[in-house]
Each structure stands twice: as C-alpha cells, then as structure tokens.
Structure 1
Amino acid sequence: MKKAFAQNPAQHERGISVTALVDYRSNRIVQLMQEPVERRDAAWLRDSLQQAVLLELATLPPYLCGLWSIKDPVQDEGVFNAIREIVFDEMSHLGLAGNLLTTIGGFPHLADERTAPAYPGPLPGGVRPDLTVSLSGLSKNSLDMYARIEEPDHPIAKADTYTSIGAFYSAVLAAFREHPELITGAHQLIRNMSGHGQGNTIVAIGSLADVEAAIGVIKEQGEGTSASPENPHHGDTDEMAHYYVFREIYHGRKLVKTAENPDRWEFVGDPIPLPRCLPMATVPPGGWGTTGAAAPDAETRRLLDEFNQVYSEMLRLLESAWKADLPATRKDLLNKAVRQMSGLQERGPTLMERPLPGGSGETYGPEFRYVPV
C-alpha cells in the first residue's frame, strides 16, 4: 500500500499507528476507505482504528456541553438521562475502539495538539465534510448537529445518501474477518459499565467473536439496526439509538411505529419539551482567547485554563493506560483518568454560569483544548 505519510522505524517496531503522525483535520478515513479490499492489511487496520478512537473522542465534548447546559436535571429528567446515557455509551465506544487497536499491536495516540479534537471543526478523517462540529449549550441547532454526527446511511425515519461512521466500522470489521490472526488480546483496558446499558462494559478483545461483538455495540447503539431504530444494547427498555434520540428531542416528539409490514416510524408520539438551558455561546476558533470582545476576565480565564489542564491530563492518562505493560498499572491509570473525567463534570457547568461581556445574555463554556505539559 502506498503510504501517504512517513513512518519512523522505531514507531513501526512499537506498533504505533501511522495515523499518530496525521493531523486531526486530515482526510485519512476517506483515504483508507478508498483502499482496495485486498490492501486492507495490518497497517490499514491500525490506521483505521486510530481514526476510530479519534472519532469516538470527538463526540464527547459537544455532547457533554449540551448535557451540562441543562438547568434542572430533575425537572427535565427524561432528556437529561437520555443524553447522559449517550455520553456513557460514547465513553464505552472509546474504550472498545482503543482495545481493538491495542489487540493488533497499535496504541491510541490521544495526547497531542495535532490529534486532539479542535472546535469548531470537522469530524476526524474527512467523515461528513459538510458538517462543522462545535461546542455550545443544548439547542435545536446543537441537536441537529448531534444527529448528523450519528446519522446512518439509510435512517429508518429519514433518507440520506451520506457515508456514515457505521459504514467505516463495517469496513474495519471486514478487515478483521480477513485477518483474525492479528488479534492478540494485548494491552486491554477493562471497566464494568453494565449499569449504563447492555454491552456498555469495556471488555478485552481477544478473539474475532469479541471484535464482532464490540463493533456491533458501537454501530447499533449509535445507528440502530437496519430493521429498527431501537437500541438493542439499551439501558432502559425501548431506548432508541443515538441518532433517533437526538431527532426525538429535536422534533419534540417520541418516535413511534405507526405501521407494520412494512414498518413505518414517525415522530408523532408523546411530547418531549426542550429543556431550559444555560445559554452557553458557541466557542470560537482557538477558544475564548485573551483579547477581543469575548475575552474573559482573569478569573474566568483561570477556570478555562484549569478545565483544559484537567482534560489534557485525562487524555495523557488514557494514552498511558493503554501503553502500560502490567494489568495493575493499566487499571490504576484508567482509574486516575476516570477521576479526571469527574473533575471535568465539576468544572464545566460552572463556566456556563459566567456571562459573556457585552450584555448578550450568553455565557462562556468549556473549550476542551489540549494543553501540552
């Protein structure tokens, strides 16, 4: 396979993906999907799974901003819990994607300004190039963006022609089926997350059956199946796949089956009121900065920087956990990363309560910027 990017021999020996050298804003997934099937070898899989890790990470900051902006999680419990479960699903998907990469000798590359997501910006790898992913509070616009991230090739309740993230995972699974000998079960992270839904536990990938199960969870929780919009790996009964949950909240109605043989689903069920939310403005390119109309005061800048530092340390800990040789070390580093995630949850809503200058009524919010040590 012709390499679009150079690879350092030392990195090759350690099994680090070529994609570790590729900018987050590259079109690497598009390039990978254009490779003939017969050339989708071990290097192709490592590249693809590094991109999969970046895709899963990229969804978390926008979804978290929407979740944290909900003013009253008790009053708006239905919407809050629905988005919260999606966030936990995506965390699980990130863990499974990392395990899929390490089981074939690669290591997730997360802690770098070139590979960490940058907002506003595209999804990694050239997926859905017409979509700009941004950080803001929950609104009709953000819900539409969330749904477009998760959209299947052929949604049951809406037709479209875009190539989906699910199609990319299908290509990855096909390559695993051609090369099951690559699966080693090495450097796996394990965490029980069964309380958030069937299939949500981050499990070790040691066989082709494990690969198929993991990719099935990732695809079906996000898109549903070709026969139903329901999430087959649900936490609550009748839980929809992510795409349809976001569309339900957007339309303000539950999605229900209105006909059978063939099945027809429409957004005509019970009302879903849009929650009252903190008016977090869209984070501008490069963050809120230090000068200009949106420049924060010293205390807000301190809080923003502190959030970015906690986020960056979380990424470093996750990367280190997958690279650690001893299971006990991997578990300890993963636990530390989870504690950093809790630190983000404590700080994010606080930033959304700090008003922007100028009297617009909008507020600041997290930047999710990677900061090197």
Structure 2
Amino acid sequence: MTAVMATYESDTIARLLRMPAGDRDVHWLREALQQALLLEIATIPPYSSALWSIDLTADHGAGGSGIHHDIREIIFDEMSHLGLVCNMLTTIGGTPLIAHEEVVPKYPGPLPGGVRPCIRAFLSGLNRDALELFSEIEKPEHPVVSRAFEEGETEGETYTSIGLFYDAVLAAFRNLSPDDITGERQVTFPLGTKHGEGNDILPLENIDAVAKAIEIIKEQGEGTGTSPENPFPGREGEFSHYYTFRQMFHGRELVKNATTGKWEFTGPAITLPRTHPVAVVPRGGWQSDPVNRPDDATQALLHRFNETYTDMLQALQDAWVTEDGMGPIGQAIGAMGKMREIAARIVVIPLPDGSGRTYGPEFLYRRR
C-alpha cells in the first residue's frame, strides 16, 4: 500500500498539470488523486462553518429555511466525492493520507496544490463574503451564467478549474492498462438513499465506473456545459453547487428566460437566514489573536471540537485501510454530528473585542 506525502500548501496540482500527458502514469495519478482528496476535504470546514452559524431558533422566510438544507446537502455531496476519490486512489494501489498535520487544510489560506491561486479560503459565518468564496471554489471554467454576464462586463478570465483537473485525472486513467485498476480496498457506503442520486460511495473496479464517478463529482459541483441543473440531484430542480451559491449571493433564484433561453438571476427573492455573526477565524486559531484570546471555558470547547475533528479525519483514513470500511465511515459521520453540537455552543460566545461578532470553530488538527 502506497501513501503519497503531498503537503497541503504546495504547487503540486499546478506542477502535475504542467507534465506532458504522455508522462502521466500510475505514479502521477496517485499523486494527483491525493491532491484531489485534499481539495474535497478543503471545502468541508468553510461550508460547515457557514451552515452552523445559521440561527435555527429564528423564523426564516423567503427562501431562508431552504438555504440551511441546501448547504447541508452540498456538504454531504463533498463527503461522497471524497469517498469516490479515495476509491479511485486505492483501486490503483494507493492509500489515502488524510489524518496528518502536513495535509490538513490551513485557514485562512490557499486551496491545496496551487489550484485557483487567487482564492484565499477562510472560516466564518454565512455572509456574502463567504458565498463569494464558495462560488469561486466551485466555479467552472465556462459558467452557463458567467461572472462577466453577472457584472455586465466582457469575458476574459482564464484559469484552471477544479473540473479541468478532474478531466486530466480521467485522461490519465484512460491511459492505464486495465490491470492497473485492481478494485482493491474499495469502500461501499449508501449515502444516496438520504441524499440523492449520485451520492452512493461505490466500488470503482473498471474505467467505466471511474468515469462515472468523475462525472458525478464535476457535475454536482459545476453543472454541465449547457445547464446549471444538477444531473444527480437530491431533490427535483436542484442546481449544482456553483449556481446554488450564486443564487444565495444574488438573493434571487436562477431562472431560464423564456424569450432568450438564457439563465438569469431574476426569479423570486431569496433572503439569507438569520445567523450568529461568526468572525473569520485567525490563522492558527483564536489563541493567536491577542485581542480575542478565549477564556478557559471557551478554549475547552474549542479543544473538544478540534479533538473531534481529528477523530473524524482519522476515521476517514482508517476506512481505506481496514477490511470493512463501513465502520470507520459511520464513525466519521458520527463525529461530524458531535462537531455540529459543539459548534452550536461556540458560535454564540461573543468575542472580547466588543465588535458584536462571535467565535467560530477552528478546525485544527491535533497530532497524537
């Protein structure tokens, strides 16, 4: 079993994409998939921080109640994407490295591997800045409703999207010998029953299964080249992640113009739900902020959260090492539930600086 050490803060993805297609062998693919799983993990803390900042005691109207549901389902999509990527890695002889201080996400900071270097990901409550960040993470190379169209400007932005990185991964898979795809150490977990088509973690034992998994990952996140709709929805009419976040950002539903056939943010109004005003978590956690250093009780909660987060990462890693991955996956989901409960106690604690903002969970890995 081969574990690839590729640090979170690196230019690994950019470097891998510069390599000629003919040099992208099974070793290239193992390194690329390790980076892909870091990308999937990187989305979970920011999305979760936003979700847990929503005040569930408030009466949310005009679409606000649906926002909690939508973000929660996106997080489960990302968890299933992570599972599919891990199956891709183990089916070619690799071993996912998840619970290690060198590979866990660092916030605020860039996305892993040097992909989308303009992005600086952070942890905060749900607000327009967070929604802009989430949109940038999920943004396809050619959105059906482009940012230029939204702003009334001419198009001109070019960059390597996460979707293009997955295209390169699939192309490398297609260049392998069929014998390189072993079907070993595959985890099966039925998330689709509760969270919709495409969310089952399934064994990937041949190139067709791998291609289908990559299609799900790309199109749930970015949509297709012709439609913002999610082809693998949890419920009818669901949009892909990018367009779901853009609806929240604009405060309008995305609808298709019956005259022009174009998709526009001109539908019914969407109001963001009432939230606890969670501030941006400083690099290294709240202990690094001399003004807002937590008291003992708050620090104990933050520590419990970080310990549980570490447990979740370890359980995810164990799932692709043990013979039966169902147990560790269940443990990881259970840890996520505990994290939610602890976070609910953290996000109501005011910062000492008198700003009216509150603490947020740190998502710090604890080495053991």
Whether the TM-score (by the shorter chain) exceeds 0.5 is yes
Query: What is the CA distance between 1:55 and its match in structure 2?
Result: 0.2
Tell me the equivalent position of 1:164.
161
Moved more, 72-81 or 291-300: 72-81
Tell me the equivalent position of 2:2.
15
The answer on whether the counterparts of 2:346 and 2:359 sit within 8 Å (CA) in structure 1 is yes
Task: Show CA shifts across 1:58-108 (max 9, x none).
Answer: 000000011111113763321111111111101111111111111111011
In the superposition, the TM-score normalised over structure 2's length comes to 0.93
Tell me the equivalent position of 1:4.
none
Q: Helix, strand or coil: the match of 1:289?
A: helix
The answer on whether the counterparts of 1:259 and 1:265 sit within 8 Å (CA) in structure 2 is no
Q: What is the RMSD of the two structures over their aligned residues, measured on CA atoms?
A: 1.3
Task: Show CA shifts across 1:334-370 (max 9, x none).
Answer: 2222211111111112110111002111000110010
Q: Helix, strand or coil: the match of 1:231?
A: coil
Tell me the equivalent position of 2:239.
240
Q: Distance in 2 between matches of 1:339 and 1:294?
A: 31
Aligned residue among 23, 33, 58 for 2:42: 58
The answer on whether the counterparts of 2:253 and 2:266 sit within 8 Å (CA) in structure 1 is yes
The answer on whether the counterparts of 2:45 and 2:123 sit within 8 Å (CA) in structure 1 is yes
Q: Distance in 1 between matches of 2:172 and 2:355?
A: 51
Moved more, 247-256 or 179-188: 179-188
Structure 1 unmatched ranges of 5 or more: 1-13
Equivalence map 1:91-240=2 (5 Å): 91-158=79-146, 159=148, 160-179=157-176, 180-194=178-192, 195-240=194-239
Bigger relative contact order, structure 1 or 2 (CA pairs below 8 A, ≥6 apart)? 2
Aligned residue among 348, 354, 358 for 2:349: 354
Give me the identity figure in percent.
49
The answer on whether the counterparts of 1:314 and 1:341 sit within 8 Å (CA) in structure 2 is yes
Letter of the structure 1 residue corresponding to residue 53 of structure 2: S
The answer on whether the counterparts of 2:125 and 2:279 sit within 8 Å (CA) in structure 1 is yes
The answer on whether the counterparts of 1:189 and 1:331 sit within 8 Å (CA) in structure 2 is yes
Letter of the structure 2 residue corresponding to residue 93 of structure 1: H
Q: How many residues align?
A: 353
Letter of the structure 2 residue corresponding to residue 337 of structure 1: A
The answer on whether the counterparts of 1:16 and 1:105 sit within 8 Å (CA) in structure 2 is no
Letter of the structure 2 residue corresponding to residue 118 of structure 1: K
The answer on whether the counterparts of 2:216 and 2:232 sit within 8 Å (CA) in structure 1 is yes
Aligned residue among 292, 295, 298 for 1:297: 295
Query: What is the CA distance between 1:290 and its match in structure 2?
Result: 6.2
Aligned residue among 323, 329, 335 for 1:334: 329
Q: 1:37 to 1:365 in 2, by over 3 A?
A: same
The answer on whether the counterparts of 1:110 and 1:319 sit within 8 Å (CA) in structure 2 is yes
The answer on whether the counterparts of 1:253 and 1:271 sit within 8 Å (CA) in structure 2 is yes
Moved more, 196-205 or 251-260: 251-260
Q: Distance in 1 between matches of 2:158 and 2:55?
A: 36
Q: Distance in 2 between matches of 1:52 and 1:165?
A: 9
Query: What is the CA distance between 1:291 and its match in structure 2?
Result: 6.2
1:45 pairs with 2:29: yes
Query: What is the CA distance between 1:197 and its match in structure 2?
Result: 1.4
Q: Distance in 2 between matches of 1:143 and 1:201?
A: 27
Moved more, 172-181 or 66-75: 66-75
Q: Distance in 2 between matches of 1:115 and 1:346?
A: 26
Tell me the equivalent position of 1:3.
none
